[in-house]
Structure 1
């Protein structure tokens, strides 16, 4: 005998009514209207050929048939959920560390691009110094890091070579006879170490006047007129100017942006490829 199957939405409506004791609350739980819930129940009762719910002006009560059907209804919904779970797309997590000197103002747009590539991917991003992030990567705490070239490392994929300069606020002037006031990030920042080494080799006396916990803080110190900072142009505060030539400061080399990853799965790899391409465009632009 070919018997029509039960409507699972109707079965769910019945269970919600039984559990919540109200057509109104059942409708709210199912994000629909009370009329729609009543119609679903009516069709289920017609399909089963019996009344499942006794309606009174003050409350809702299951009939004897309804009481007997409730456990079976719950089992039917649970079996349906288990079957669907076999085919559900698991949400994968991609944990990325990005150097503070690399993250930049483009980061929100880059995250949006990754999300557009795979909306079901859980993206976790940590910002820090290149050295700290590489250590976390080596401890397998991060899936991927995008960092500056770090001393003692020759691995990683080079995404781009980024120009750096010596920047200060417009109109800033160094006081005669005083060492160069430098705004830097805290150790173990590789850019900080490079800037200090180049100044020492060139015989330029300098002193730290500001140490920031990130590039944003260093850029703020430059804007405030505290001194000079070694920064990439895309990290600059509005209006900052390169004072390297005017102060006869040593040239800063282009610094590579490197990608280190152990990701091999297709989905996160595709999202990572979108991020890497976006960084290439941002840095080269």
Structure 2
């Protein structure tokens, strides 16, 4: 059977966290310190985690308690909205997507985001991975889907790229002619990989088509 959180118990936890005192939390709730302590013990048992460190001088949240704090606030806010009939607040997400990631998989991704919240306004920017990463670092984007370049770490790996050379079936390179390339403009990371590979192999090339985006 799925465990169920008790709203009054979660409210008691939030008061203890905000007031840093079982005594003051009990006064705010109009109950006893023992009753508040019992609620917290039941909540910790239900979650299987210790949420609060108790000492004679202070009450502090554990790391698990701090992690649960935002979820507890969200639960109480949703509970209050349900009682009042108030519509949930509008949400917005600014998402940066690399040119190379903006393929057929983008549509189901957007559908999943919409399913998570009907009040979500999604602002999508498509560009080069490096530009999207810089915008994220500057706080201009909430999240990005980009190619990982260099030694940078962090984020979640969604897929792995498989690179290859592609040409028309009718393509034939005249002897002595440089290899014609269709690429995205610099600073495209995939273009840089292709150019380095050709230069390393000593193959002459020239760009015949340069794209500026998808």
- Relative to the length of structure 2, the TM-score reads 0.57
Residue 180 of structure 1: aligned partner: 179
Q: Distance in 2 between matches of 1:179 and 1:134?
A: 34
- Helix, strand or coil for the counterpart of 1:181? strand
Residue 111 of structure 1: aligned partner: 110
Unpaired segments of 5 or more residues in structure 2? 1-82
Residue 69 of structure 2: aligned partner: none
Residue 158 of structure 2: aligned partner: 159
Kindly state the Cα deviation for residue 86 of structure 1 after the two structures are TM-superposed: 8.3
- Helix, strand or coil for the counterpart of 1:168? coil
- Helix, strand or coil for the counterpart of 2:165? strand
Q: What does 1:28-177 align with in structure 2 at a 5 Å threshold?
A: 87-177=86-176
- Structure of larger gyration radius: 1
RMSD (CA atoms): 1.9
What is the CA deviation profile of residues 17-51 of structure 1, one whole-angstrom value per residue up to 9, with x for unaligned ones? xxxxxxxxxxxxxxxxxxxxxxxxxxxxxxxxxxx
Q: Distance in 1 between matches of 2:108 and 2:169?
A: 29
Give the number of aligned pairs: 132
- Helix, strand or coil for the counterpart of 2:140? coil
Residue 198 of structure 2: aligned partner: 199
Kindly state the Cα deviation for residue 87 of structure 1 after the two structures are TM-superposed: 3.0
Kindly state the Cα deviation for residue 108 of structure 1 after the two structures are TM-superposed: 2.4
Residue 210 of structure 1: aligned partner: 209
- Helix, strand or coil for the counterpart of 1:201? helix
Q: Distance in 2 between matches of 1:139 and 1:168?
A: 39
Kindly state the Cα deviation for residue 164 of structure 1 after the two structures are TM-superposed: 1.5
Q: 1:85 to 1:213 in 2, by over 3 A?
A: farther
Higher relative contact order (CA 8 A, sep 6+): 1
What is the CA deviation profile of residues 158-178 of structure 1, one whole-angstrom value per residue up to 9, with x for unaligned ones? 112121211112211112211
Matched, 1:190 2:185: no
Q: What does 1:3-14 align with in structure 2 at a 5 Å threshold?
A: none
Q: Distance in 2 between matches of 1:119 and 1:164?
A: 37
Q: Distance in 2 between matches of 1:169 and 1:213?
A: 22
- Helix, strand or coil for the counterpart of 1:124? strand
Q: Distance in 2 between matches of 1:190 and 1:105?
A: 21
Unpaired segments of 5 or more residues in structure 1? 1-83, 217-285
Q: Distance in 2 between matches of 1:152 and 1:110?
A: 27
